[in-house]
Amino acid sequence: MSFYSPHTDAEIQQMLEEIGVKSIEDLFVQIPESLRLKRDLKLPAGIPEPKVEQGLKNLARKNQTCSDLTCFTGGGVYHHYVPKAVDYLLSRSEFSTAYTPYQPEASQGTLQAIFEFQTMISELTGMEVANASMYDGGESTAEAVLMSLRAGKDPQGSILISAGLHPHYRMVIETYTRHLEFARKIVPLAGNGQMDLDALRKIDDGCCLVVQHPNYFGCLEDMDELGKLVKEKGLILVVAICEALSLAILEPPGSFGAGIVAGEGQSFGIHPGFGGPLLGFFASRMDWVRRMPGRLVGETKDAEGRRGFVLTLATREQHIRRAKATSNICTNHSLMALTAAIYLSLLGKQGLVRLAKTNLERANHLRERISQSKNLKLKFSAPIFNEMTVQLGTDAEDAVRELAKEKILAGVPLKRHFPEMADSLLVAATEMNEKEQIDLLINKLDQLAGRGR
């Protein structure tokens, strides 16, 4: 197999001798044989760059965005309208090269944008302090679990995870904690779609509890009762938020005794993409601030009394000794944080609340139409925000493929992560879904469901 290498054979041999090994293969002896690929990669022969470019353009023409389709998908990434001012302001040259502020004193604009974002997240979550360094909701939630283990007075027992947590988030938590001596226990859901509090009461060896609100199936958890139970058990409550817009009208997690709130901020001005970019947010109690991962920007005054911003806390390897680092997060994701800050500033408090109420209104219309349907029914009865689980009585993946032919993205089939819910579809209704579109979706799904019975 041919490949590009900037080094000559003589240079490679010289480096190997300096390291003290005989061959390049010797560099990988720690990787088990069973995990090594014992053949060349099956790559096609090289072709000229113009042909590559034309081929990629042809592929790109096949892409369709949510704007080209009627979109009801959710499950962690939502189709919201992004004001044109957001993209315009982001494209300004002042922000085009913004990255980690290694020289904070020369990055006042970047630091102020991060500070404003942190302030908004603190207000929305009801927590005392927030950072701006998380990649996405799954990574943020996993970091929250690690921090809760650090913050616990006597961390022991199990990491308790609600069955209503996003399956991707659960996978990231498992990856982050598999090397630790902490068991992971799943707390099941009750019949109405909320966490089974009776099942939680029977578990007496937990150290923290991770719950998503609204949960993956769209159900609002009973946070009042959950908060009381967590306090009685002495657990650290980690609340994960997938749909950040819900924070505009729901009681903030800080009101229910949350120790850490982590989640996904994509709804705040970031266009849905093929898996990204996304924006994780992270908020905590102030007395745990030195256990937080990532960075924290603070406000201060200079020698002349002028308002200024500083990198107050940066608990990662590049800033402090490796042994004391809380994480290896190596970016502040400042462009996405800036996106959210601009979006939230444009809408303002009242605008954000109105938008959230519009989402709730559209979701209630969707729910009402499902209840009137002959062949569809709601999987769970718990209250919702803008997302819900619909039972079709027929394979949901087939239904999604059928409606995709008519340029309707009907939702997220649950079969992949929950085989027992092969006939169930996760459907989200946002301000982008007019009532006429919702009526059309239900009519189409009703027909498909009836045909499959």
Write phi, then psi, for 35 (nearest 5 degrees).
-100, 0
Q: Grade residue 190 by pLDDT with cuts at 50, 70 and 90.
A: very high
H helix or E strand, kind and range, residue 409: strand 408-409
Three-state DSSP at 162 gives strand
Residue 39, helix vs strand vs coil: coil
The predicted model gives 228-246 an average pLDDT of 96
Residue 314's pLDDT is 74
For residue 69, the tally of other CB atoms under 10 A from its CB is 16
The alpha carbon of residue 19 and the mean position of all alpha carbons in its chain are separated, in whole angstroms, by: 41
Q: DSSP per residue over 77-135, as a string?
A: -------HHHHHHHTSHHHHT----SSGGG-HHHHHHHHHHHHHHHHHHT-SEE-S-BS
Q: Over pLDDT 70: what percentage of the chain?
A: 92
Q: What is the DSSP string of 29-77?
A: TTS-GGGS--S----PPP--HHHHHHHHHHHHTT---GGGSEE---TT-
Q: Which amino acid type is present at position 436?
A: E
For residue 32, give the 3-state DSSP assignment. coil
- For residue 94, which phi and psi values (nearest 5 degrees)? -60, -25
The predicted pLDDT at position 2 comes to 46
* 162, β-bridge pairs: 187
Query: What are the residue boundaries of the structural domains of the chain, listed by start?
Result: 66-80+349-451, 84-344
Q: What is the pLDDT of residues 394-452, one digit of tens each?
A: 999 999 999 999 999 999 999 999 999 999 999 999 999 999 999 999 999 999 998 76
Q: How far is CA 411 from the centre of its chain?
A: 18
Which pLDDT does position 453 carry in this prediction?
A: 60
Mean pLDDT across 251-268: 97
Token readout for 129 is 């302090």
Hey, CA dihedral for 201, 206, 212, 216, is it positive or negative?
Answer: negative
**3-state secondary structure (DSSP) of residue 342:** helix
Would you mind telling me the total number of residues written for the chain in this entry?
A: 453
Rounded to two decimals, what is the model's pTM? 0.87
> What is the CATH superfamily name and number for domain 66-80+349-451?
Aspartate Aminotransferase, domain 1 (3.90.1150.10)
Helix ranges restricted to H, 184-282: 197-201, 223-233
Summarised one tens digit per residue, pLDDT across range 87-142 is 999 888 777 655 555 665 667 888 888 899 999 999 999 999 999 878 999 999 99
Instruction: Give per-residue pLDDT as tens, 264-299.
Output: 999 999 999 877 789 999 999 999 998 888 888 999
- pLDDT at position 331 is 63
Give the pLDDT band of residue 326 (cuts 50, 70, 90): confident
Q: How far apart are CA 438 and CA 444, in angstroms?
A: 10
At 221 the three-state DSSP class reads coil
Q: Which helix (H) or strand (E) holds 408?
A: strand 408-409
To the nearest whole number, what is the mean pLDDT of the chain?
90
In this structure, what are the phi and psi dihedrals at residue 211, rounded to the nearest 5 degrees? -135, 140
What CATH number does the domain located at 84-344 have?
A: 3.40.640.10
Integer Cα distance of 345 and 415 in angstroms = 39
pLDDT value of residue 99: 57
Give me the pLDDT at residue 354, please: 98
Tokens of 427: 């459907």
CA distance 260 to 209: 10
Name the region of 3 (left: φ>0; alpha: ψ -120 to 50; beta: rest).
beta
Best CA proximity match to 120, nearest among 286, 352, 430: 352
Kindly state the tokens that stand for 451. 């045909």
Secondary element (H or E) of residue 335: helix 334-372
How many CB atoms are closer than 10 A to CB 50?
A: 8
The 10s digit of each residue's pLDDT in 168-182 is 999 999 999 998 888
Q: What band does 322 get if pLDDT is binned at 50, 70 and 90?
A: low
